Amino acid sequence: MVEAGQNNKLKAHARGIGVSPGVVIGPVFLLASQAVKVVEQKLKPEQIDHEIARLEDALIATRGQLKSIQEDLGEQTGGRDASILDAHLMVLDDRAFLEEIIKKTRNDCCNVEVAVRDVAEGYAGMLASLKDDYLRERVADVRDVARRVMRNLTGDIDTALGSLTQKHIVVANDLAPSDTATLRKDVVSGFATDLGSPTSHTAVMARALEIPAVVALRDITQRVRAGDIVLMDGNKGVLIVNPSPEELEEYGALAEARKSIERGLDRLHDEPAETSDGHRITLSANIEHPDEIAAVTQHGAEGVGLFRSEYLFIFRGAAVDEDEQAVAYTKLATALHPDPVIIRTLDLGGDKFFRDGLGHDEANPFLGCRSIRLSLQYPQQFKSQMRAILRASSVGNVKIMYPMISNVDEVLQANELLEESKQELRDNKVPFDDDIEVGVMVEVPAAALAADALAEHVRFFSLGTNDLIQYTIAVDRVNERVAYLYEPTHPAVLKLIKMAVDAGHAKGIWVGVCGQMAADPVLAPLLVGMGVDELSVSPQAVPLVKDAVRSVSYEQSRQLAETVLKCRSGTEALRHCREMVREAAPEVLELI
């Protein structure tokens, strides 16, 4: 709601998504649209070579700028998170992307700025249509790179943020990742945007730079004016325009309380994820890139419970060869030894793909040839990845995991190819761990229902609850019309989880959860009470989940599970979980 207040000051309360914690107060710096003005020109064929030369010069200049920004970011964060801009550099090095620009310039006889703009928008549109949050957020990376290239082509200099000389809260429709990386904490106390999500590189860099941020405020650029005083809560995703004295006092006290809580969480870094009566679980991290190793150790995770290997491929736009994969996996395993590292084989298809790689267009890709199904149709490529993982296993802490298993035959086929891969390494006298643990993702109802049979052929289960919930309830959680039906505590979902846990334990194997349920500190005690042995979450979620686990006894968690499994609705089940956490760890609810 927006209303006129005293002295004609605009009043507004807006709620978005808090992506970087902290409470800040300050005047608004309203950042105008960063669009580059491109003048279309029709060229003669003999002018095209000159355009291609201009493109090459602009690419060199852009690469230099990004490298410089990356170095500055590394200095500000102590080396952490500078690799985020690797995605931008990979776009610049993507031959398919660049060749498409050159082809359009030649075929249309247009100036190269037009080709860069149109090709980039084509790629961005394709990514924006996907359902995977991580891939949709790469739209910003592509547009950011294109904008920088076009600025270098046109000579357009972006000086807006550079004009800041005193502390402001930046409000924009969106912030490009490379712009976020250049924000200076001495003049930017926080930022708020109309667009964005927690998985965007802009959000990741805000956390790395420790700049409070709120995104997805929809129309905040239309609801504030330059110079308005705003109070922004990056924990809860709230922005208050021209706050009252009472609101300022309330949030001042709240900010101090949160700082105290966060200092307490920091002290848990070296403590185990262990209930108050001594029941210990493993609390590990989900990551996409070896450069996230620092985040794993910084937040106190015990190794990696899910390494999403497909992201090595996605930005490349093509296959990554065996040697390159082996280097990446070995780097990860060596840095985290002796803690475990679980590498999931390619989970491509559905909404994850690479342009020159495997797979085909399908009418219903989420029920089509994806993940393990795709890998088994391309056994040589599958074996290449497994050989790379096996080579890294010589470090001694690597495990391998197959995604989207729905029947025993898939496990048997995958294990047979794994044995062939082992033999090929033996023949070439390449060392590896012959006793490497093999596990499967339980993320479709069929796998949970057949868990007893699957458990005979693997050493562990890891429950991918994001897909398990969607497939069980038949709901697309990114479809706004039905997202309200996406319910982790739905009785059917909880029964499937319990069924998989019990079946695994009956066969003597351990069971983990690597989906978003594990990262919810309200649900973590429930999962522990259901018998889950391992929780794998984003590195940033580790401290809060650890606090939730350590604040309850195993007996309390077990009794909670018994109660919740009898509930007739997800709402009732969630209420019981929140009541336990409110009583045992009220600071958890305060921070989420």
474: left (phi over 0), alpha (psi -120 to 50) or beta: left
Contacts of 11 (CB under 8 A, 6+ apart): 2, 3, 4, 5, 241, 242
Greater model confidence, 307 or 162: 307
Range of weakest confidence among 172-181, 372-381, 405-414: 172-181
Q: How confident is the model at residue 326 (pLDDT cuts 50, 70, 90)?
A: very high
Q: What is the pLDDT of residues 15-25, one digit of tens each?
A: 998 888 888 99
- pLDDT at position 137: 66
Strand 304-308 versus strand 341-344 pairing type: parallel
Return the pLDDT at 33.
66
Q: Where are the beta strands (DSSP E) in 363-509?
A: 398-402, 437-442, 460-463
Task: Kindly tell me if the per-residue pLDDT of 77 is higher than 90.
Answer: no
Domains in the chain with CATH codes: 2-34+159-246 (3.50.30.10), 45-154 (1.10.274.10), 273-591 (3.20.20.60)
The rounded percent of the chain whose pLDDT value lies above 70 is 88
Taking alpha carbons only, the member of 195, 232, 176 closest to residue 27 is: 232
The residue-averaged pLDDT of 98-120 equals 94
Contact (CB, 8 A) for 411 and 457:
yes
- Greater confidence, 294 or 570? 570
Reply yes or no on whether the pLDDT at 5 is more than 70. Answer: no
258-294 confidence digits (pLDDT tens)? 777 777 888 899 999 999 999 999 999 998 878 788 8
pLDDT at 1: 34
Give the containing element (helix H, strand E) for 23.
Answer: strand 23-30
Q: Say which DSSP state 474 is in.
A: T
Taking the mean position of all CA atoms in its chain, how far away is CA 137? 9
Token digits for 409?
């035959």
- Interval 488-506 mean pLDDT: 97
**Contact between 17 and 206 (Cβ < 8 Å):** no
The Cα 216–Cα 488 span in angstroms is 23
Q: Which of 88, 168, 201, 299 is catalytic?
A: 201
Q: How far apart are CA 121 and CA 104, in angstroms?
A: 13
pLDDT value of residue 114 = 94
The region that residue 226 occupies, defined by phi over 0 for left and psi between -120 and 50 for alpha, beta otherwise, is beta
Active site residue 514: yes
Q: Please give the structure tokens belonging to residue 299.
A: 């937040």
Mean predicted confidence (pLDDT) in 38-57: 92
Q: Give me the pLDDT at residue 34, please.
A: 65
The answer on pLDDT for 316 being more than 80 is no
Query: How confident is the model at residue 230, as a pLDDT?
Result: 94
Pick the residue with more confidence: 32 or 380? Answer: 380
Q: Is the pLDDT of residue 195 over 50?
A: yes
pLDDT at residue 160, as a whole number: 66
Q: In whole angstroms, give the CA distance from residue 184 to residue 561.
A: 47
3-state SS, one letter per residue, for 45-87: HHHHHHHHHHHHHHHHHHHHHHHHHHHHHHHHCCCCCHHHHHH
Whether the pLDDT of residue 473 is over 90: the answer is yes
Contact 522, 557 (CB under 8 A): no
Cα–Cα distances in Å, from 399 out to 271, 407, 482? 24, 21, 37
* Better-predicted residue by pLDDT, 100 or 8: 100
pLDDT band at residue 355 using 50, 70 and 90 as cut-offs? very low
Share of the chain above pLDDT 90, in %: 55
Supply the mean pLDDT for the chain.
86
pLDDT band (50, 70, 90) for residue 357: very low
The pLDDT of 478-483, averaged and rounded, is 66
- CA–CA separation, 331 vs 290, rounded Å? 7
pLDDT at position 125 is 85
- For residue 55, the number of C-alpha atoms closer than 13 Å in the C-beta half-sphere is 27
| Amino acid at residue number 556 | Q
Q: How large is the average pLDDT for residues 242-270? A: 83
pLDDT, mean of residues 341-354 = 74
Please name the residue that has the structure tokens 């390449």.
430
Residue 79 pLDDT greater than 80, yes or no: no
In this predicted model, which residue has the larger pLDDT, 516 or 444?
444
pLDDT reading at 366 higher than 70: no
Confidence tier at 257 by pLDDT (50, 70, 90) = confident
Closest CA to 410 of 443, 365, 363, 361: 443
How confident is residue 2, by pLDDT bands cut at 50, 70 and 90?
A: very low
Q: Where are the beta strands (DSSP E) in 290-351?
A: 304-308, 341-344
Interatomic CA distance for residues 526 and 556, integer angstroms: 9
Q: Using 50, 70 and 90 to split pLDDT, how confident is the model at 201? A: low
Length, in residues, of the chain: 592
User: Residue range 184-212: average pLDDT?
Assistant: 81
Q: Which of 88, 299, 514, 577 is catalytic?
A: 514
Packed helices 491-506 and 465-473: angle between N→C axes, nearest 10 degrees? 130
Strand 213-215 vs strand 188-193: parallel, antiparallel, or unpaired? parallel
Q: What confidence score (pLDDT) does residue 557 get?
A: 97
Q: What is the average per-residue pLDDT within 139-153?
A: 87
pLDDT value at residue 8? 46
Burial class (CB in 10 A: 0-12, 13-18, 19+), 258: buried
Q: Please say whether the beta carbons of 181 and 204 come within 8 A.
A: no
What mean pLDDT do residues 444-458 have? 97
439-449 pLDDT per residue, tens:
999 999 999 99
Residue 9 has pLDDT above 80, yes or no: no
Q: What are phi and psi of 279, to 5 degrees?
A: -85, 120
